[in-house]
Chain A
Amino acid sequence: MNKKAAFDTTHELMIWIPRIIILVIVVGIVYSLITIPVQKNFEIDTLQEKILRQRFVYSENCLAYEDNNVYSGIIDKNKFTQTNLENCFQFNNNIGVNLNLMTNDVKTINLNERLSNKFDFCFDKDHFTCSNYTYYILTKDNNRFVPGLLNIAMIKLK
């Protein structure tokens, strides 16, 4: 190989290196554009927490007041016990719940102590999903309806 041929080969190689790099970048971008939205569509942690949170207010097996009908949004204060809430929210070790019922007094119940005392770790978005929501409710206490607040904080292990 003479000097000119060697120079040409090197020159060609130098031209192709940036082209290959650009090609790799383009393929990477196209792949990301296709896969990232698809993967994001399957993130349902927030939806799951919302559905589970509503159970406390809507279901007669949890806190909703019931005579012949079920009154979603009216909380039966007698149902706000550890035993009853553990019965209506069973068998999920990945979720911890902290409930605060605020009327004339404040009552607090924790479900799944293993997780419900770990709200300080909510900053770690890679391992935990957290939510905190307050419902404006009526509580049925004996024969009286008393307005109040029900705060439900939930932590889920991803």
Chain B
Amino acid sequence: MDKKGDSLLEKQLIWAFYLILVVVVYFMISGISTEKSYYEDYLVRNLGLSLDTLHNAPGELNVYHKNLNDVTVNIKENVVEVRSSTKTPKVYLFTRDKNFQQIDSSFNFNNSTLKISKDKEIYLENE
């Protein structure tokens, strides 16, 4: 192959590498942005921090978490578990007080809206 041919082959290889790089970066970004486990991670922390914060509030308060269709929420003792399909559940350990007695048994939730109410005690309800 003459020098011109060599140069052409080299350019083709470089473009092939560029294409591979673009594809790899695309899958990295799409993988991160659509990763469902990130949503579960966010949701379990959001629910757990909500429960922790509700204990601080003097007086009555209701907190609604909406659009929870695709996940199963399980709250037992001081553990919030969020799970979708068969994946390993995401877990948050919250800190309860003596008035958080209503949900000692396993609370399974699979509706679209979860209501957490606080007056003197804290309740969890399927809406």
- Which residues in B have their C-beta under 8 angstroms from that of A146? none
**At the interface, yes or no: B42 with Cβ under 8 Å from chain A?**
yes
CB of B41 within 8 A of CB of A42, answer yes
- Which residues in A have their C-beta under 8 angstroms from that of B57? 58-59
Cα distance, A44 to B48, chains bound together (Å): 11
CB of B97 within 8 A of CB of A89, answer yes
A52 to chain B, nearest CB (A): 6
CB of B28 within 8 A of CB of A70, answer no
Do A42 and B53 contact each other (CB < 8 Å), given the known contacts A59-B58, A87-B97, A87-B98? no
- Which residues in A have their C-beta under 8 angstroms from that of B69? none
Main secondary structure of the interface of A (DSSP, over half): helix
Do A90 and B58 contact each other (CB < 8 Å), given the known contacts A34-B32, A35-B32? no
**Number of B residues whose C-beta is below 8 Å from A?**
29
Do A90 and B97 contact each other (CB < 8 Å), given the known contacts A23-B21, A38-B38, A64-B58? yes
**At the interface, yes or no: A55 with Cβ under 8 Å from chain B?**
yes
**At the interface, yes or no: A94 with Cβ under 8 Å from chain B?**
yes
Cα distance, A58 to B93, chains bound together (Å): 21
Classify chain A: how many residues form its interface, as a range: 20 to 34
Do A30 and B25 contact each other (CB < 8 Å), given the known contacts A87-B97, A94-B93? yes
**At the interface, yes or no: B55 with Cβ under 8 Å from chain A?**
yes
- Chain B 88-116: CB-based contact to A (< 8 A → 1; otherwise 0): 00000111111110000000000000000
CB of B21 within 8 A of CB of A61, answer no
**At the interface, yes or no: A13 with Cβ under 8 Å from chain B?**
no
CB of A54 within 8 A of CB of B56, answer yes
**At the interface, yes or no: B59 with Cβ under 8 Å from chain A?**
yes
Cα distance, A54 to B55, chains bound together (Å): 10
CB closest chain-A residue, reference B25: A30
CB closest chain-B residue, reference A69: B58
A71 to chain B, nearest CB (A): 9
A68 to chain B, nearest CB (A): 12
**At the interface, yes or no: A17 with Cβ under 8 Å from chain B?**
no
* A23-B17, A58-B57 given; 6 more Cβ-contact pairs under 8 Å: A48-B49, A55-B97, A88-B55, A91-B95, A91-B96, A92-B78
The 7 A-B residue pairs with the shortest CB-CB distance, nearest first, are A70-B58, A87-B98, A91-B78, A92-B95, A88-B97, A58-B56, A55-B56
- Interface residues, chain B, CB within 8 Å of chain A? 17, 21, 24-25, 28-29, 32, 38, 41-42, 45, 49, 52-53, 55-59, 77-78, 93-100
10 A–B contacts, CB within 8 A, in A order: A26-B21, A27-B25, A38-B38, A42-B45, A58-B56, A59-B56, A59-B57, A60-B58, A61-B55, A90-B96
